[in-house]
Amino acid sequence: MMLEKLLTIGEAATSSGVAVSTLRYYDEIGMTPSVVRIGGKRHFDRESVQRLSFIQHCKSVGLSLGEIRTILDDNSGGWHELVASKIVEMTATRDSFTRMISKLESIKNCGCTDPINCSGADRS
């Protein structure tokens, strides 16, 4: 690793789209490859920044840090099953929200003045 290719923690945070505090946290829990310390300060290489960007992308699609760690640590390709399982989970959540929204729309559009006896509030 050449010294001129290292980024300060602030530069790495900006490049990867994470807060400096988040980057420190990821470092503390081992989500980033080993960082180089120069004068007691963390420095990151481009590979670390790419990994951080990947972590942020995974978080943006609903994966937990534990799930992301599993994906990052899996060299056998088994992580595809985790992603497929997450899709099933998210689809079920979406379907549940769709049903809840439909019930709320029925309540909103029923025109009742008594919410307790509202015919739009199907309680099934």
pLDDT at 122: 65
- Which of 25, 31, 28, 23 is CA-nearest to residue 7? 23
**Does the residue 99 lie in any domain?**
yes
- Contact by Cβ (8 Å): 66, 47: no
pTM: 0.75
CATH code, domain carrying 8: 1.10.1660.10
Residue 34 placed within a domain: yes
Confidence at residue 82, expressed as pLDDT on a 0 to 100 scale: 93
> Is 55 domain-assigned?
yes
Which range of residues forms the domain containing residue 87? 74-110
Residue 85 has pLDDT above 80, yes or no: yes
Residue 19 and residue 10: Cα distance in Å, rounded?
A: 8
Q: What is the tally of structural domains in the chain?
A: 2
Nearest to 9, CA basis, from 57, 1, 22: 22
Q: Average pLDDT for residues 6-28, to the nearest whole number?
A: 91
Tell me the range of 1-5, 27-31, 53-57 where mean pLDDT is highest: 53-57
